[in-house]
């Protein structure tokens, strides 16, 4: 590798055996050195790292993420540093490693941001930009006990330093895989951030993250108190200010102070009119105040403006399919079914593998007076259900819409193409039971082991396959969500 273009990958880990291999594999084509700081693993994390030739150092955890990160930076010996978490995956460009190496060959750029795409457990995605690649200089060190940052030290060393977008993405799987741990992490962060705030009361970023931790724990009163102090004290030039506005509005909504939340969003829109998510949140607040016309106007603005620039923390879809879905749901509430159908169809057109609007669409067709056969014919005419998973999806959509006979026919068409599973048998049994075909239902149920989860709840072949869309791609589909999740930056 040419001089000046060698790359060190630095990680801090603790019991990351489930995800570390995927992380290291993703970066292997471009890194020349792997430095792993282990703060106390008891699983086979170290063995996995060793298979990738990593240098592993055991460092005692000191309640400070920056100290652990910087221990790794101190050991890195290459020209550039890339930082990943063990539950992340570097997504290389289509051109391959050479395109990534071009970033390192820049003579003028000091650091690069990446789009961090967090895959949530319900199938939605949160996105934000963060500096993850920079030149290896002794002055470049992390700051902050929690939600550590590298950019302040880079700019302090050289206020004119060029920081550019890499145009590349890092996938964060942690939220999807460890949802049960998020409350634990938020409570842990709360302790660390309280200590940081007491130690450095003028550190607005630490106090901001303290407020976000309260918000993640649904402690809206406490979140509002902290975020209000930060809001009043900040200069407005901090890079995380748009995220503060977003999260402060979420906290105010959770507290029930809709008018103040709307005022905060208006302030943000005046400053960042291209931040689509602020309009999206406006829609929910107008809805809570029964201002339906204004809610529709806010969500329509989202569809016209499109997704926000990547520099903002945002939920994927607020400028397209999520906004169309909310428009459709509000039309349903107002019994304006033709308009609802148009909106749900637009949502599906915007993202074919997002299947939730398909359920709404079937329900709207029924409300409009379509017979079960007509609902089935409409869906099959307007959408493609060629795969096994999408065929099961159609069966579940029809069942949810009350078209039980049509759902059963669709399920039987699918089962003619693939072997039955415990889930499909249970689903079929439920459909037969609804049609009062009790003996046939009993035959299906008897083939499902008593220990199968499906016997205790909803038909997993149906509602489970709700997670698959009718289009060529398939992704998990979220349950109804009234507002985006909190996010720190």
Is 457 part of a structural domain of the chain? yes
Contacts of 138 (CB under 8 A, 6+ apart): none
Domain endpoint, select from 177, 202, 220 = 177
Find the mean pLDDT for residues 313-329.
96
Find the mean pLDDT for residues 257-265.
98
Residues 191 and 164 in one domain: no
Residues 113 and 200 in one domain: no
Q: In Å, how far from its chain's centre is CA 88?
A: 13
Pairing mode, if any, of strands 162-172 and 125-135? unpaired
- pLDDT grade, residue 183 (50/70/90)? low
Residues 142 and 153 in one domain: yes
Is 416 part of a structural domain of the chain? yes
Contacts of 293 (CB under 8 A, 6+ apart): none
Question: Residue 238 has what DSSP assignment?
Answer: S
What gap in Å lies between CA 387 and CA 390, rounded to an integer?
5
* pLDDT value of position 2: 62
CB 154 within 8 A of CB 111: yes
CB 476 within 8 A of CB 273: no
Whether 467 shows a pLDDT value over 50: the answer reads no
Residues 227-243 pLDDT 10s: 999 999 988 888 899 99
Q: How many domains, in total, are found in the chain?
A: 3
Domain extent at residue 37:
7-177
CATH of the domain at 193: 1.25.40.10
More confident of the two residues 426 and 461: 426
Which residue reads 């398939």 in tokens?
Answer: 474
Question: Residue 89: which H helix or E strand, with range?
Answer: strand 88-91
Residues 369-387 pLDDT 10s: 999 999 999 999 999 898 9
Whether 347 shows a pLDDT value over 80: the answer reads yes
Packing angle of the helix pair 388-400, 422-434 (nearest 10 deg): 30
What gap in Å lies between CA 80 and CA 68, rounded to an integer?
18
Find the mean pLDDT for residues 83-110.
92
Contacts of 445 (CB under 8 A, 6+ apart): 425, 426, 429, 455
Residues 33 and 113 in one domain: yes
Is 474 part of a structural domain of the chain? no
Residues 173 and 185 in one domain: no
**Residue 131 φ/ψ region, left for φ over 0, alpha for ψ in the -120 to 50 degree band, beta for the rest:** beta
Residues 192 and 141 in one domain: no
CB 327 within 8 A of CB 319: no
* pLDDT value of position 122: 66
DSSP characters for 116-143? EEEE-TTS-EEEEEEEEEEE--TT---B
Residues 168 and 189 in one domain: no
More confident of the two residues 240 and 481: 240
Which residue reads 């396959």 in tokens?
Answer: 465
Residues 44-68 pLDDT 10s: 999 999 999 999 999 999 989 999 9
Whether 388 shows a pLDDT value over 80: the answer reads yes
Question: Residue 33: which H helix or E strand, with range?
Answer: strand 33-38
What gap in Å lies between CA 358 and CA 379, rounded to an integer?
8
């Amino acid at each position: 590798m040419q001089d000046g273009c060698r790359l060190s990958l630095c990680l801090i880990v603790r019991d990351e055996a489930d995800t570390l291999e995927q992380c290291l594999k993703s970066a292997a084509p471009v890194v020349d050195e792997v430095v792993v700081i282990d703060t106390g693993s008891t699983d086979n994390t170290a063995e996995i790292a060793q298979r990738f030739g990593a240098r592993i150092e055991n460092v005692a955890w000191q309640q400070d993420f920056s100290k652990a990160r910087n221990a790794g930076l101190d050991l890195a010996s290459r020209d550039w540093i890339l930082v990943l978490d063990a539950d992340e995956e570097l997504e290389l460009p289509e051109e391959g490693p050479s395109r990534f190496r071009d970033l390192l060959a820049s003579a003028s750029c000091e650091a690069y941001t990446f789009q961090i795409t967090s895959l949530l457990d319900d199938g939605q995605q949160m996105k934000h930009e963060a500096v993850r690649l920079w030149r290896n200089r002794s002055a470049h060190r992390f700051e902050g006990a929690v939600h550590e940052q590298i950019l302040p030290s880079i700019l302090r060393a050289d206020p004119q330093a060029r920081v550019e977008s890499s145009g590349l993405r890092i996938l964060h799987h942690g939220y999807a895989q460890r949802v049960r741990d998020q409350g634990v992490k938020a409570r842990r962060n709360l302790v660390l951030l309280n200590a940081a705030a007491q130690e450095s009361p003028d550190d607005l970023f630490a106090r901001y993250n303290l407020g976000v931790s309260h918000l993640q724990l649904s402690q809206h009163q406490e979140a509002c108190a902290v975020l209000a102090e930060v809001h009043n004290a900040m200069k407005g030039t901090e890079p995380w200010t748009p995220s503060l506005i977003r999260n402060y509005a979420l906290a105010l909504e959770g507290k029930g102070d809709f008018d103040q939340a709307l005022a905060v969003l208006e302030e943000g829109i005046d400053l960042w009119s291209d931040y689509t998510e602020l309009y999206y949140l406006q829609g929910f607040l107008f809805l809570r105040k029964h201002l339906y016309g204004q809610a529709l106007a806010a969500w329509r603005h989202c569809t016209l403006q499109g997704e926000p620039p990547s520099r903002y923390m945002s939920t994927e879809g607020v400028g397209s399919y999520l906004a169309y879905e909310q428009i459709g749901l509000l039309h349903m509430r107002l019994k304006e079914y033709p308009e609802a159908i148009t909106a749900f169809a637009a949502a599906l057109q915007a993202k074919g593998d997002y299947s939730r609007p398909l359920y709404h669409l079937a329900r709207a067709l029924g409300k409009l007076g379509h017979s079960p056969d007509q609902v089935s014919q409409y869906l099959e005419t307007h959408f493609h259900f060629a795969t096994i998973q999408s065929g099961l999806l159609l069966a579940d959509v029809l069942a949810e819409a009350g078209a039980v006979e049509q759902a059963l026919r669709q399920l039987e068409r699918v089962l003619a193409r693939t072997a039955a599973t415990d889930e499909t048998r249970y689903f079929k049994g439920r459909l037969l039971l609804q049609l009062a075909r009790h003996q046939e239902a009993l035959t299906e149920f008897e083939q499902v082991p008593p220990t199968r989860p499906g016997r205790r709840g909803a038909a997993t072949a149906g509602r489970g396959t709700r997670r698959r869309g009718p289009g060529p791609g398939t992704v998990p589909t979220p349950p109804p969500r009234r507002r985006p999740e909190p996010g720190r930056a």
